[in-house]
């Protein structure tokens, strides 16, 4: 499976979990059950972020690896790191 399809599959799973959580709230499910579903959605999204980051490092950053390109590589790593952090 490609990185793109892995990311799409993970995001679709997270989306279905969010939809499930919304339905659970609407139907009056117990809060702890909704929290479990929300945590699972968060876990899937974190895993998705890691997949995207791995792909970016393996593919995009390798394209930048050229002599004299150090500043651009460092800037890209800093940007990717910043966006990969969960607030």
The CA R_g of the chain, rounded to the nearest whole Å, is: 18
Q: What is the pLDDT of residue 86?
A: 61
Structural domain count of the chain: 1
The pLDDT assigned to 1 comes to 61
CATH assignment at residue 32: 1.20.58
Q: What is the pLDDT of residue 45?
A: 93
Please give the residue range of the domain that contains residue 46.
3-84
Looking at residue 80, what is its pLDDT?
78
Report the alpha-carbon distance of residue 85 to residue 17 in Å, rounded. Answer: 22
Instruction: Pick out the chain residues at pLDDT < 50.
Output: none
- Which pLDDT does position 21 carry in this prediction? 97
Contacts of 53 (CB under 8 A, 6+ apart): 80, 84
Task: Report residue 12 as tokens.
Answer: 């679709």
């Amino acid at each position: 499976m490609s990185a793109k399809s892995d990311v799409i599959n993970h995001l679709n799973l997270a989306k279905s979990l969010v939809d499930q959580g919304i339905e659970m709230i609407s139907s009056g499910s117990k809060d702890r059950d909704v929290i479990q579903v929300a945590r699972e959605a968060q876990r899937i999204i974190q895993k998705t972020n890691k997949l995207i980051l791995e792909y970016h490092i393996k593919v995009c950053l390798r394209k930048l690896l050229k002599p004299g390109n150090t500043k651009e590589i460092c800037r890209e790593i800093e940007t990717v790191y910043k966006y990969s952090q969960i607030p």
